[in-house]
Amino acid sequence: MTDPIQHIQSLLPPRNTRRDTGEAYAPANIALCKYWGKRDTRLKLPVTGSLSVSLGAHGTRMTLRRAEADALTLNGEAVAPDSRTFRRLFAFLDLIRDPAHRLAIESHNTIPIAAGLASSASAFACAVKALESLYAWNLPPQLRSILARLGSGSASRSVFEGFVEWHAGSSPDGMDSFAEPLAPVWPEFRIGILTVSEAPKPVGSTEAMERTVRTAPLYEAWPKQVEHDLPRIRRAVLDHDFITLGETAEHNALAMHATMIGSWPPVIYWLPETTAHLHSVHRLRAEGLPVFATLDAGPNLKLLYTAEHEADVLRNFPMLIQIDQNPTP
Amino acid sequence: MTDPIQHIQSLLPPRNTRRDTGEAYAPANIALCKYWGKRDTRLKLPVTGSLSVSLGAHGTRMTLRRAEADALTLNGEAVAPDSRTFRRLFAFLDLIRDPAHRLAIESHNTIPIAAGLASSASAFACAVKALESLYAWNLPPQLRSILARLGSGSASRSVFEGFVEWHAGSSPDGMDSFAEPLAPVWPEFRIGILTVSEAPKPVGSTEAMERTVRTAPLYEAWPKQVEHDLPRIRRAVLDHDFITLGETAEHNALAMHATMIGSWPPVIYWLPETTAHLHSVHRLRAEGLPVFATLDAGPNLKLLYTAEHEADVLRNFPMLIQIDQNPTP
């Protein structure tokens, strides 16, 4: 069998080498049905499908310029060539760019820093789109998603706006594991971020994912959880059924954290305030306010609600950072 | 097929009716490998086996007296005949006693109230032993355990002292689902209770167990968890291997809570302080102190440690209530 990465590379169009800059933008995304566990680490193939909503104007904007040597600035600050961020990004670009090309990259995150959202999904999705711009490509959307996936699994979803589904696929070469747009953003749908801690996480999310898969007997039932949740969330997005969406997304996120809590050594991202906020969300729901929580691999909460209840949610969570997930104009 | 409860009743010896009082004691117990999920609600047959340590002098002492009418006092206070406690206890006694006998019961719990330990296990185990005393029986230990199980699953373990294993069994009539003593208490083994809240639980533990089995996809992997944990804990008890015992008991308890967190609506017994204490336990372990946590269906922690580290544990948790689990003299 051809090496799967070489196969992907063979699908790339010829590189137009007359341009010397490329520019692109890609949004961050928040998973409503989580990506948790890889079946192939190198190709970043997931154990299950997942479904997210892209965050409109919150993401990564990148400019690439042909240069004498590779260089990276992030929000205006130079990133050291021996840093993990630098090496990971250029190792990824090496999969796609002309081997003779060196690139100077300016990357800007437009995600509020206090929101503590992961930027790797938008960064890798953006890098693919910026190379497309540099080489004057117009890649098929599935290939664009597959390329982004090689950088970071969830980047496969960040190449699209609105609600996006990443199909798990079953092929060993991953050619059926790509994301597709499911539906445009639903204007009344709201996301707000409750930041509990901006401190570095005690366990990185890649390590947490790998430890869970390796040591949590409960993880064996995670595909069953997704089998339950993913079709419900997909249907709820298409029907604008907010309650089903909120309930299922919260159930899914708590189940993901449950698998981490059940790993060894346990990965407990929840801080005391995380627990307190979860109880507040449950109390408010019991009082009739339709608000739901989702959490990624960390202590911070993302609240889901609708425009109708925005004022009530903000009154109860004054520290909430509202995220406008409408697409960039 | 004979009704399984009638079958159990057919095994009881003739009742000696010359005595008019019976008296007994049974200890509470803390599960190191949890009982979580029933395969038969009426017979209280568990999905998996479990393993506990009985709490010595902390339990229930009961005196039964032949009387004109059923009556119950609990720690000296009369319990109303229409209360759940009263009805549940007498419905249970009706399975065993002479139908013509009315009983006045004095029950005393010797469990520190602040410890918030469930008393149903010791109460039902004690009721069986008190009836044995009243009727001058000397039941085979397995039958004694099966009878107690009909009152409350974990009562099957409280008829014994020391470390006790309850075999799940597989027979539909439950005749192979009884507890057996595994090993005497290990003198250096210590248990301390960290009470986070004495408030009534928002969800009762029976409801939590049923909701988990019904709604948590992750619960499907719980038997796998027990298959991993139970033999390790059994071996560690026999070998006095405290680290394996502590690690496995904590993993098991966290996995049980994980299945609740993954149920819907979620059962999150953890309060902010529960989360804080769990992080403290993990920090202390990282610093080299061998202390582990287990939690039942509630927010309070039970810490496991050894005599050697008792002073260090108490210094770090000044509110700890130490439980002496040596058998009653």
Q: How many CB atoms lie within 10 A of CB B153?
A: 26
Contacts 24+ apart (CB under 8 A), B91-100: B92/B124, B92/B127, B92/B150, B92/B151, B93/B127, B93/B131, B95/B5, B95/B8, B95/B9, B95/B147, B95/B150, B96/B9, B96/B12, B96/B128, B96/B131, B96/B147, B97/B15, B97/B131, B98/B15, B98/B17, B98/B135
State how far the Cα of A326 lies from the Cα of B305, in Å rounded to an integer. 54
Angle at A108 between CA A105 and CA A110, to 5 degrees: 160
- Say what the ipTM of the complex is: 0.94
B chain contacts of residue A275, beta-carbon cutoff 8 Å:
268, 270-272, 274-275
A chain contacts of residue B259, beta-carbon cutoff 8 Å:
218, 258, 262
A chain contacts of residue B231, beta-carbon cutoff 8 Å:
none
State how far the Cα of A244 lies from the Cα of B262, in Å rounded to an integer. 16
Closest CA to B302 of B283, B323, B288, B285: B323
Residue of B nearest to A299 (CA): B275
Cβ–Cβ of A225/B217 closer than 8 Å?
yes
Closest CA to B19 of B61, B71, B65, B72: B65
Q: Where are the domains of chain B?
A: 4-183, 189-323
Cβ–Cβ of B262/A250 closer than 8 Å?
no
Q: What is the mean pLDDT of residues A89-111?
A: 95
State how far the Cα of B180 lies from the Cα of B159, in Å rounded to an integer. 9
Residue B258 distance to chain A (closest CA, Å): 4
Answer whether A4-183 and A189-323 agree in fold: no
**Least CB-CB distance to B254: which of A220, A224, A261?**
A261
Contacts 24+ apart (CB under 8 A), A284-288: A284/A316
Closest CA to B58 of B105, B112, B118, B106: B112
- Return the pLDDT at A326: 64
Q: Per residue of chain B (329 residues), what is the pLDDT tens digit?
A: 689 999 999 999 999 888 999 999 999 999 999 999 999 999 999 999 999 999 999 999 999 999 999 999 999 999 999 999 999 999 999 999 999 999 999 999 988 766 667 789 999 999 999 999 999 999 999 999 999 999 999 999 999 999 999 999 999 999 999 999 999 989 999 999 999 988 888 899 999 999 999 999 999 999 999 999 999 999 999 999 999 999 999 999 999 999 999 999 999 999 999 999 999 999 999 999 999 999 999 999 999 999 999 999 999 999 999 987 665 54
Q: What is the mean pLDDT of residues A227-243?
A: 98
Q: Is omega for the bond preceding B265 within 30 degrees of 0, making it cis?
A: yes
CATH 3.30.70.890 fits B189-323, yes or no: yes
Mutate to test the interface with B, among A218, A219, A224, A270 (most CBs of B within 10 A): A218
Residue of A nearest to B221 (CA): A218
Q: Any residues with CB less than 8 A from the CB of A206 and at least 6 apart, and which?
A: none
Answer yes or no: is pLDDT of A117 > 80: no
Reported as a single tens digit per residue, the pLDDT across B93-106 is: 999 999 999 999 99
Question: What share of chain A in percent tops pLDDT 70?
Answer: 97
**Least CB-CB distance to A221: which of B218, B270, B273?**
B218
Answer yes or no: is pLDDT of A233 > 80: yes
B chain contacts of residue A230, beta-carbon cutoff 8 Å:
none
Closest CA to A70 of A61, A82, A59: A82
With contact defined as beta carbons under 8 Å apart, do A4 and A45 qualify? Answer: no
* CATH node for B4-183: 3.30.230.10
Cβ–Cβ of B225/A217 closer than 8 Å?
yes
The token pair that represents B101 in the structure block: 């006998």
> What is the band of A198 on the pLDDT scale with cuts at 50, 70, 90?
confident
Amino acid, res. A101: H
State how far the Cα of A152 lies from the Cα of A147, in Å rounded to an integer. 9
Strand residue runs (E) in chain A: 21-33, 38-40, 45-46, 50-67, 71-74, 77-78, 102-109, 163-166, 179-183, 189-194, 292-294, 301-306, 321-323
Cβ–Cβ of A250/B266 closer than 8 Å?
yes
Mutate to test the interface with A, among B227, B232, B261 (most CBs of A within 10 A): B261
Residue B24 distance to chain A (closest CA, Å): 39
Starting at the edge strand that comes first in sequence, how are the strands of the sheet with A321-323 ordered? A292-294, A301-306, A189-194, A321-323
Q: Which residues of B touch A (CB under 8 A)?
A: 216-222, 224-225, 227-228, 247, 250-251, 254-255, 257-259, 261-262, 264-266, 268, 270-276, 278-279, 282
B chain contacts of residue A228, beta-carbon cutoff 8 Å:
217
- Return the pLDDT at B329: 45
Closest CA to B139 of B27, B20, B18, B13: B13
Q: What is the mean pLDDT of residues A18-32?
A: 96
Angle at B231 between CA B225 and CA B233, to 5 degrees: 90
State how far the Cα of B23 lies from the Cα of B14, in Å rounded to an integer. 19
Cβ–Cβ of B275/A270 closer than 8 Å?
yes
Q: Give the H or E element holding residue A118.
A: none
Q: What is the mean pLDDT of residues A94-101?
A: 94
- Return the pLDDT at A329: 45
Cβ–Cβ of B221/A218 closer than 8 Å?
yes
B chain contacts of residue A221, beta-carbon cutoff 8 Å:
217-221
Mutate to test the interface with B, among A197, A254, A259, A291 (most CBs of B within 10 A): A254
Burial class (CB in 10 A: 0-12, 13-18, 19+), A258: buried
